[in-house]
Amino acid sequence: MNPVITIRNLSKSYGQKKVLNNIDLDIYKGEIIGYIGPNGAGKSTTVKIMLGLVGEYEGEVRIFGQNIKNGNIEYKKKIGYVPETADVYENLTAREYLTFIGELYGMDYDEANKKAEKLMDLFGIKEVYDARLSSYSKGMKQKALIISSLINDPDILFLDEPLSGIDANSVMVIKEVLAELARCGKTIFYSSHIMEVVEKLSHRIILINNGEIVADGNIEELKTKSMEGSLERIFNQLTGFNEHELIAKEIVATIRGGEPVEGI
Amino acid sequence: MKEFKYLKFLDVFRGLFQRFGIDYNTLRKILRIKLLIDSRRTSTVLTNQKKKDGKNNFIRSLGIFLLFGVFLSVFMFIRNNYLFSMSLIFSMFMFFIMTSLVSDFSTIILDLKDKEIILTKPVDSRTLNAAKVLHIFYYIFMITMALLGPAMLVSLKRYGYTFFFLFLLTAVLIDLLSIVFTSLLYLLVLRFFSGEKLKDIINYFQIVLTIAITLGYQLMSRIWTFIDFNKIELKLTWWKMFMPPLWFAAPFELFIKGNTDKNIVFLSLLALIVPIIAIIIYIKTSSVFESSLQKLRSSEGQTKSKNKFIILVSNIICKDKEEKAFYKFTTNMIKKERTFKLKVYPSLGFSIVFPLLMVIAQHFNDSLSRKSFFAIYFASFMVLDVVGYLSYSGNYKGAWIYETMPIRSRASIYKGSLKAVFINLFTPLFIFVSLVFLYIFKFGILLDLAVVYSNIFLLTIITHMIQKKDLPFSLAFETTEKKTGFWELIKVLITMGILAVLHSLSDKIRFGGLIYLALILLTIIILWNKTFKKAELEEG
């Protein structure tokens, strides 16, 4: 089977700082990839390169077999994206925003409108379809963003912290939707800091630290390799972090205005 | 669904856009959404604030341009020398267009949200950039009509249809050239700098550009030699060929008057070719533009903070803790908030260049007099813009802190922030301008400088009193947003004039300067207390 995404020797630096260092990846149809790493590890940069938002990188990125550097943007028709920054045009209503996005993907207005309205209904926020996004709660806005990323029936989904602010019931629905989409052959690139969700949801976990891939495999493989019980612990171990208790004590001491704890 | 006339108008040129490799259908959709967004106001975060009136401030601010437009139309009555009359009109016109581009529309050119939302969809950067240019063009064209409309009407009446259409065409070409030229300049800056430094450079660049536009405009009006009133001559030397207003005035000489002098033909050709070349370069480089824009979001590098100094000053000039806190807060915001700086810094450029330009020119002409000193009052223009924009911010959503924090008095928010802009923006600029004035006028003007400095503070308070009171950095910048309405603007300008006139009158009495200074200081104390006491009382 041919990979849907192939990344070879991908490096990117901003000035002196190297954000990505020789990344190699093959991603296949129907995979849910948990893409994790500490803040500033290079997760968003990888995704932004694949979306064509960041140029001037070294190496090769192929999506659906096509080198994205060649300037052809057709591949974006089959991609959905929920950005971490949750940027939307807040002065628009969901109807206006979602149909606009749908039209940019090349859909007809009516088709996009019908689909968006139906999805809003299924996500339980139909009553605000004609309200401005600026009046939405965080969870509602996040749902609208997820709808905007799914409206074009994409083959690859890039989700960056997609569940933030969404209530527990809806989280269950969305997780199930993602699993079902993967079964239909969609590829999902899932970045999050919530390890429990990543652990449960992903078929394959890629851990990136300081611009390099430090772990790649399914959760069982990672557990045997690192001899740790949970993804959270694996994450701590691989990113070289083991002093959380000490730091926590120091934080509480600082809040209460007391003396520093010995040992830091 | 709302249909915009502007879009129907653009439909005429569909074929032309497609020839440039632009996806017109997508372009149209982006533009429609942009115009729709502009027609709405962002609701404020602060829920208990009064709803603002729905009138579009942009339309109201066109009134000022229309006023200038009527003034400009007078030049249409100069007969026989189209090169002279049209280049004068165009140089003033370009001055207004370029300055409003730099100050009001830079935020559209340098917008980052579009990239994240639109470029992740199958839309190429060429189409997005064309949409940005046409979005700006929509507003620039309205300003154009306000500025040149009166002159165009006069031309239609006096010189007929050919003249009128040529006028319209050249105006559109100037608009396009100005927008594309400004964007290309930004691109150049974006290419050569990166990171945190870039954010500062952009603002300095704006100041420099504003100064350059003003200087260019001054130069333009000085290239004519007046032999007598009826005989105005222009000797075309090579450097004058670089003055865009001359290019656009030349076609009138060529087509209306039939002057086929080779210089005129050459200038006319430039009027057509330069905008076209600029547009082609812009289209070709638009993808580079988008990837360079990304740099504005990168956050590497830390700026060294001068926090200790800020804290020291706040302890000296502010009384209570809240006032100090807001002094420091405002100081940091006006120095670091990108959108705020984008809007405000160009006007700082004006405040430096206007007074200096006037006295330096007179200094070299040996026509310097006591009167020339009062040019320094032009520096107080910055008060209007800065105090007016103080309520706006790209991070307006952060304003929820006003609601949730136990702030005892709103008056101390205003006190702290007004002091902050006065100390951090007005004072350094004033010192700079003063040093040049001291060099030119010698030390006799020390008292006068003290008077002007106090007057700037007085104006700061008065501007604050006149305008609507919104909390600092609590409103969203919008394309059509103008900080101060027409009448507020006039009121402040008149006050400014009165203060300057009183200053010049104080020369007539013995110790007049000192008495005037004392009076201003007294007024400041009274107004300051009155404004903020009143505010405190209203809060209960």
B49 belongs to a structural domain: no
Choice among A189-193, B396-400, B447-451 with the minimum mean pLDDT: B396-400
CB-based contacts of B34, cutoff 8 Å, min separation 6: B131, B135
B204 with B248, same domain: the answer is yes
Do A226 and A255 fall within a single domain?
A: yes
In angstroms, the CA B224 to CA B226 distance is: 6
Total domains in chain A come to 2
Q: Which pLDDT tens digit goes with each residue over A109-164?
A: 999 999 999 999 999 999 999 998 988 999 999 999 999 999 999 999 999 989 98
Which chain A positions have a beta carbon within 8 Å of B194's beta carbon? 14-15
Nearest to B159 by CA among B77, B281, B270, B245: B77
Q: Which of B269, B296, B323 is the last residue of a domain?
A: B296
**Residue A260 has what pLDDT?**
58
Q: What is the dihedral of CA B482, B485, B489, B492, to 10 degrees?
A: -110
Cα separations in angstroms, A210 against A12, A57, A238, B437, B507? 12, 16, 11, 55, 69
What is the rounded CA–CA span in Å between residue B524 and residue B455?
9
**Domain co-membership, A92 together with A118:** yes
- Looking at the structure, tell me whether residues A252 and A184 fall in a common domain: no
B239, B267, B296 - which closes a domain: B296
Query: B50 falls in which pLDDT band (50, 70, 90)?
Result: very low
pLDDT at A147 (0 to 100): 95
pLDDT value of residue B469: 78
Clarify whether residues A193 and A95 are in a common domain.
Answer: yes
Find chain A residues with C-beta within 8 A of B190's C-beta: none
Asked if A89 lies within 8 A of B117 by C-beta distance, the reply is yes
B388 and B424 belong to one structural domain? yes
Percent of chain A whose pLDDT exceeds 90: 51
Asked if A39 is an interface residue toward chain B (Cβ–Cβ < 8 A), one would say: no
Do B322 and B447 belong to one domain? yes
Q: B392 lies in which domain range?
A: 307-539
The arithmetic mean of pLDDT across residues A234-240, rounded, is 81
Look at residue B408 and tell me if it is in a domain.
Answer: yes
Length of chain B (residues): 540
B30 to chain A: nearest residue by CA?
A: A100
Contacts of A108 in chain B (CB under 8 A): none
- Nearest alpha-carbon partner for A156 in A1, A6, A15, A38: A6
CB-based contact, B122 to chain A, within 8 Å = yes
Q: Is the pLDDT of residue B459 over 90?
A: yes
Contact call for B121 and A76, based on CB within 8 A: yes
Least confident window among A4-8, A41-45, A101-105, A137-141:
A41-45
pTM metric for this prediction: 0.82
What is the complex's ipTM, to 2 decimals?
0.83
User: What residues of chain B lie within 8 A of the CB of A88, using their CB?
Assistant: 117
Give domain status of residue B51, yes or no.
no
The A residues from 127 to 166 touching B (CB cutoff 8 Å) are: 132, 134-135
> Does the pLDDT of residue A176 top 50, yes or no?
yes
- Weakest-pLDDT range from B34-48, B219-233, B442-456: B219-233
Return mean pLDDT, chain B.
Answer: 84
Instruction: Please report residues of B whose CB lies closer than 8 A to that of A91.
Output: 36-37, 40-42
Residue B431 confidence class, pLDDT cut points 50, 70, 90:
very high
Contact yes or no for A53 and B120 at CB 8 A? yes
Highest mean pLDDT among B138-152, B193-207, B287-301, B472-486: B138-152
Query: What average pLDDT does the structure give for chain A?
Result: 88
Chain B CB within 8 Å of residue A184 CB: no
Tokens at B155, concatenated: 């031309």
d(CA A249, CA A252): 5
My answer on whether A244 and A185 are in the same domain is no
- Taking the CA of residue B331 and the nearest CA in chain A, the distance in Å comes to 27
In this complex, do A14 and B298 lie within 8 Å of one another by their Cβ atoms? Answer: yes
Q: Is the pLDDT of residue B420 over 60?
A: yes
Number of domains composing chain B = 2
A213 with A162, same domain: the answer is: yes
Cβ–Cβ below 8 Å for A54 and B294: yes
How does DSSP classify residue A34? Answer: E
Instruction: Work out the pLDDT band at A203, boundaries 50, 70, 90.
Output: very high
Q: Are residues A44 and A76 in the same domain?
A: yes
Q: Could B26 and A104 be called an inter-chain contact, meaning their C-beta atoms sit closer than 8 Å?
A: yes
Q: Is there a single domain that holds both residue B362 and residue B491?
A: yes
pLDDT digits (tens, 9 = 90+) for A26-37: 999 999 999 998
Q: Check residue B2 and give its pLDDT.
A: 64
Q: Does B367 contact chain A (CB < 8 Å)?
A: no
- Nearest CA to CA, how far is B283 from chain A (Å)? 14
Please report whether residue B47 resides in a domain: no
Same-domain check for residues B89 and B220: yes
- The reply to whether B289 and B320 lie within a common domain is no
DSSP secondary-structure letter at B51? Answer: P
Residue B484's pLDDT band (boundaries 50, 70, 90)? Answer: low
pLDDT at A242: 78
Cβ neighbour number for residue B81 with a 10 Å cutoff: 19
The pLDDT score that the predictor gives to residue B435 is: 93
Give the lowest-confidence range in A46-50, B54-58, B85-89: B54-58
- Percent helix / strand / coil, chain A, rounded to 5: 40, 25, 35
The answer to whether residue B222 scores a pLDDT higher than 80 is no
Cβ–Cβ contact B294 with A under 8 A? yes
Note whether A76 contacts B: Cβ–Cβ < 8 A: yes
What average pLDDT score do residues B235-262 get? 83
Nearest by CB to A15, from B41, B42, B195: name it. Answer: B195
Q: Which residues of A touch B41 (CB under 8 A)?
A: 91
pLDDT band of residue B225 (cuts 50, 70, 90) is low
Pair B415, B348 in one domain = yes
The residue among B417 and B191 whose pLDDT is bigger is B417
Q: Please tell me whether residues B282 and B334 are part of one structural domain.
A: no
Find the domain containing A227 and state its range.
222-264
- Residue B508: what residue type? K
What is residue B62's predicted lDDT score, i.e. its pLDDT?
Answer: 81
Q: Say if residue B398 is in the same domain as residue B258.
A: no
Model confidence band, residue B314 (pLDDT cutoffs 50, 70, 90)? confident
pLDDT of B47 > 70? The answer is no
Q: Is residue B352 one of the residues assigned to a domain?
A: yes
Give me the residue from A17, A92, A132 closest to B33, CB to CB.
A92
C-alpha distances in Å from residue B245, one per residue of B84, B238, B240, B439: 10, 15, 10, 34
Q: Does B40 touch chain A (CB under 8 A)?
A: yes
Question: Is 70 exceeded by the pLDDT of residue B164?
Answer: yes
Residues of B in contact with A85 (CB under 8 A): 116
CB distance from B515 to chain A under 8 Å?
no
Note whether residue B425 is domain-resident: yes
Residues B234 and B323 grouped into a single domain: no
pLDDT bin (cut points 50, 70, 90) of residue B54 is: very low
Distance (Å) of CA B261 to CA A18, B242, B339: 60, 18, 48
With contact defined as beta carbons under 8 Å apart, do B207 and B311 qualify? Answer: no
Of A96, A104, A135, which has the smallest distance from its Cβ to B121's Cβ? A104
Ranges of beta strands (E only) in B326-399 are: 392-393
| Same-domain check for residues A172 and A243 | no
Give the confidence band of A7 by pLDDT, cuts at 50, 70, 90. Answer: very high
Angstrom CA distances, B290 to A81, B368, B409, B501, stand at 18, 49, 44, 50
- Look at A104 and B29 and tell me if their CB atoms are within 8 Å: yes
The answer to whether A64 contacts chain B (CB < 8 Å) is no
| B298 CB within 8 Å of a chain A CB | yes
Residues A101 and A55 both lie in one domain: yes
Q: Are A201 and A243 in a shared domain?
A: no
What value does the mean pLDDT take over residues B238-261? 85
Residues in chain A with CB shorter than 8 Å from the CB of B287 are: 55, 71
Interface test with A, best of B4, B29, B33 (most A CBs within 10 A): B33
In chain B, which residue's Cα lies nearest the Cα of A145?
A: B117
Does the pLDDT at position B22 exceed 50? Answer: yes
Question: Which chain B residues contact residue A101 at CB under 8 A?
Answer: 117, 121
- The reply to whether B258 and B384 lie within a common domain is no
Contacts of A132 in chain B (CB under 8 A): 40, 43
Q: What pairs with residue A26 in β-bridges?
A: A6
Q: What share of chain B is helix, strand, coil (3-state, %, to 5)?
A: 80, 0, 20
CA distance A13 to chain B (A): 11
**Lowest mean pLDDT across A85-99, B210-224, B247-261:** B210-224
Minimum-distance CB partner of A15 among B33, B42, B194: B194
Are A127 and A78 in a shared domain? yes
d(CA B130, CA B115): 13
What's the pLDDT score for residue A263?
Answer: 52
CATH of the domain at A68: 3.40.50.300
pLDDT tens column, B96-143: 898 888 877 888 888 888 888 998 899 988 899 899 999 999 999 999
State whether residue A83 sits within 8 Å of chain B by CB: yes
Q: Which residue has the higher pLDDT, A231 or B47?
A: A231
Q: Which of the four pLDDT bands, split at 50, 70 and 90, describes residue B49?
A: very low
Q: Are residues A257 and A202 in the same domain?
A: no
pLDDT value at position B56? 58
Half-sphere exposure of A209 (CA within 13 A, CB side): 12
Alpha-carbon separation of residue A194 from A145, A161, B459, B511 (angstroms): 19, 8, 54, 74
B291 and B373 part of one domain: no
State the best of A13, A51, A89 to mutate against chain B, taking most chain B CBs within 10 Å: A89
Q: Is the pLDDT of residue B53 over 50?
A: no
Q: Is residue B2 part of a domain?
A: no
- Of the partner residues B123, B124, B300, the one whose CB lies closest to the CB of residue A15: B300
Greatest C-alpha distance within chain A? 65
